[in-house]
């Protein structure tokens, strides 16, 4: 009996030593996590793609490992691309890295996008809805019902300052945040909050 109690105690200490993963920190962290989640959508927003794409199937190789599959019907008309009823499935998709480690996304988000060209810039407006897990160095989630407007070229960047407009709500374990504003994020990172050791 003493050995069993001792084994349980040692196992409990080991679990406590590992501690919980990092949490997404506040409204800024929520915006950064949404931007990270949106990065694979660049593969569907590429204006140089085939003019008519009815299959909609694209696989995005995530920068920190894993992949994101985009499925659903897409159609391109003239200079703009309108895609509807798309699903993005994250499969161990490492999309951001911070001082605590890699943020790995798992789960499904539905989204739609509208690509517009004007001069040298190509913009994309897209709406995201659904809940995904943010794992790896993190132990959190991203629950989005939000629209995003951003330059297509910015979706593929890493380590650069990116401006995007968000409208809607994003929830994490830190709360629900309402956006109707332009937000600046550092691409490829998510602000982390680590629980203090007890």
Reading the block at residue 141, the tokens are: 């989630």
Encode pLDDT of 137-183 as tens digits: 999 999 999 999 999 888 878 888 999 999 999 999 999 999 999 99
d(CA 181, CA 189): 20
Query: pTM of the prediction?
Result: 0.81
pLDDT of residue 196: 60
Sequence ranges of the domains in the chain: 20-193
Query: What pLDDT shows up at residue 175?
Result: 97
How confident is the model over 43-56, as a mean pLDDT?
Answer: 58
Beta partners for residue 185, in sequence order? 162
């Amino acid at each position: 009996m003493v050995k069993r109690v001792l084994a349980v105690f040692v196992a409990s200490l080991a679990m406590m030593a590992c501690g919980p993963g990092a949490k997404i920190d506040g409204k800024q962290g929520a915006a950064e996590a949404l931007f990270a989640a949106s990065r694979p959508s660049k593969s569907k927003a590429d204006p140089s793609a085939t003019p008519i794409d009815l299959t909609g199937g694209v696989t995005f190789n995530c920068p920190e490992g894993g992949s994101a599959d985009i499925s659903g019907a897409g159609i391109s008309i003239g200079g703009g691309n309108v895609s509807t009823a798309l699903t993005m499935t994250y499969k161990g998709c490492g999309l951001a890295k911070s001082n605590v480690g890699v943020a790995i996304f798992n789960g499904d988000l539905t989204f739609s996008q509208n690509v517009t060209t004007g001069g040298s810039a190509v913009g994309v407006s897209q709406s995201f809805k659904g809940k995904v897990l943010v794992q790896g160095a993190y132990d959190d989630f991203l629950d989005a019902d939000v629209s995003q407007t951003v330059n297509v070229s910015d979706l593929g960047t890493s380590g650069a300052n990116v401006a995007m407009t968000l409208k809607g709500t994003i929830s994490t374990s830190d709360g629900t945040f309402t956006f109707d504003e332009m937000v600046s994020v550092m691409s490829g990172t998510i602000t982390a909050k680590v629980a203090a050791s007890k």
